[in-house]
Amino acid sequence: MKGRISKEQMAEFVREGEMMRSLKHHGIVKLLGVCVENGSFYLVQEIVNGHGNLFDYLHKKNQRLTYWQVLQIAVGICDAMAYLHERHIVHRDLKPQNCLLVNDKGEVKLCDFGLARLKNAAFVETVSNTAGTPAYQAPEMLRDEPISEKVDLYGFAVMLWEMYTGKLPWSDKNYHQMIHTVAVRNERPPIPPETPREFVAVIEQCWHPVPQKRPSFNELKTTLRDLLKSVPQDIPVPKVPNNHFSQQNQARQNPQQQQQQYYVQHQQPRAHGVVPQYHAPSAQPVLYGGYQQNW
């Protein structure tokens, strides 16, 4: 990361780095240190051996998870996220690319949870400051409204959907269509009808349009552990046909192209405190593939 900063901003960057370095949890990639030299910033993190990140595992290696693995990974994510939220740290970019698979047993490590804080602390001008992955971002975040730790619950819900279906959310839409679909139309990815009811309930709670009605990660961890007790380890989730989601683009794009469409090109950052010109209407009933869901 590069940028011209003042001594005060540099000190804030180092303070944030030290705080992130103090976090110790088996489900979080360790930040070993930060370095500031000649206007450049370096982050030193632990190396994690395993199967790579969850996105590559699902979409580039074309691996399917069993329902048990989905739940096991979900419990691990909940455990790590609960640890962060207890320390008032919001990830803000929870997605499969930031979830590393350690082994076949569902052990995971979260990464990049501190990068947004570190970049904001130093006011570093990078593409990452304005780029984003709207498929995993909560409606209130896309509308540029005040956010809380509940935005992480929304991203988690989309990850659950993706792990279960093996599909990319909103892969038939471009960046701006995705923003409109989630932030204005208040739609959600369609859940396959054969999905277990208990699992559907978890997803729907987590991507609830009202942030305050989304559960905590501690509550979810208990719920998912209870589900795990009754799920065999070797039963795969049902294969979901592409036409179930009307994903016309999926057949024409490879996973890398689909991933790239989630990112907006670099734009000039908006001055702090300036209200955006776009104003979304009040929340609409949540839709699943065109069908209304009453809350």
DSSP per position, 149-173: THHHHHHHHHHHHHHHH-S-TTTTS
Residue 86: count other Cβ atoms within 10 Å of its Cβ: 12
Q: What is the pLDDT of residue 21?
A: 86
Pairing, β 286-288 against β 291-293: antiparallel
269 pLDDT above the threshold of 60: no
Rounded Cα distance, 134 and 155, in Å:
9
Element (H, E) at 128: helix 127-130
**Do 255 and 167 form a contact (C-beta atoms < 8 A)?**
no
- Report how far residue 235's alpha carbon sits from residue 125's, in angstroms, rounded to the nearest whole number: 47
- The answer to whether residue 140 scores a pLDDT higher than 90 is yes
Is the pLDDT reported for residue 216 higher than 90?
A: yes
pLDDT at position 187 over 80 = yes
The pLDDT, as a whole number, for residue 241 is 62
Percentage of the chain modeled with pLDDT above 90: 52
Looking at the DSSP bridge assignments, the partners of residue 268 are none
Contact 12, 34 (CB under 8 A): no
For the chain, give the number of residues.
295
pLDDT of residue 266: 37
How far from the centroid of its chain's Cα atoms is residue 223's Cα? 20
Handedness of CA 176, 177, 180, 182 (dihedral sign): negative
Q: Quick one: pLDDT at residue 20?
A: 84
| Mean per-residue pLDDT of the chain | 79
* Contact indicator for 87, 23 with CB cutoff of 8 Å: yes
The answer to whether residue 258 scores a pLDDT higher than 50 is no
How many Cβ atoms from other residues are within 10 Å of residue 84's Cβ?
22
What's residue 133's pLDDT? Answer: 77
Q: Place 5 in a pLDDT band, splitting at 50, 70 and 90.
A: low
Instruction: Kindly report which listed range (44-58, 85-99, 233-247) carries the lowest average pLDDT score.
Output: 233-247
Please state the domain extents for the chain. Answer: 51-273+283-289
Mean pLDDT of 161-187: 94
226 flagged as catalytic:
no
Backbone angles phi, psi at 191, to 5 degrees: -90, 130
Q: Please state which of the ranges 2-6, 146-150, 268-272 shows the lowest mean pLDDT.
A: 268-272
Q: What's the whole-model pTM score?
A: 0.77
Q: What are phi and psi of 28, to 5 degrees?
A: -130, 130
E strands, the chain, where?
A: 31-37, 40-45, 99-101, 108-110, 187-188, 286-288, 291-293
51-273+283-289 carries CATH number 1.10.510.10: yes
Mean pLDDT of 235-264: 51
Rounded to whole angstroms, how far apart are CA atoms 35 and 84? 23
- Does 98 count as an annotated binding residue? yes
User: Residue 49 class from Cβ within 10 Å (0-12 exposed, 13-18 middle, 19+ buried)?
Assistant: exposed
Confidence of residue 234 (pLDDT cuts 50, 70, 90): confident
Out of 72-81, 126-135, 231-240, which region has the weakest mean confidence (pLDDT)?
126-135
53 marked ligand binding residue? no
The neighbour count for residue 60, using CB atoms within 10 Å, is 14
Radius of gyration (C-alpha) of the chain in whole angstroms: 19
Largest Cα–Cα separation, the chain: 57
CB 132 within 8 A of CB 263: yes
Question: How confident is residue 3, by pLDDT bands cut at 50, 70 and 90?
Answer: low
Annotated catalytic residue within 79, 93, 144, 152: 93
Pairing of strands 187-188, 286-288: parallel
142-151, 195-204, 252-261: least confident range:
252-261
Residue 123 pLDDT level (bands cut at 50, 70, 90): very low
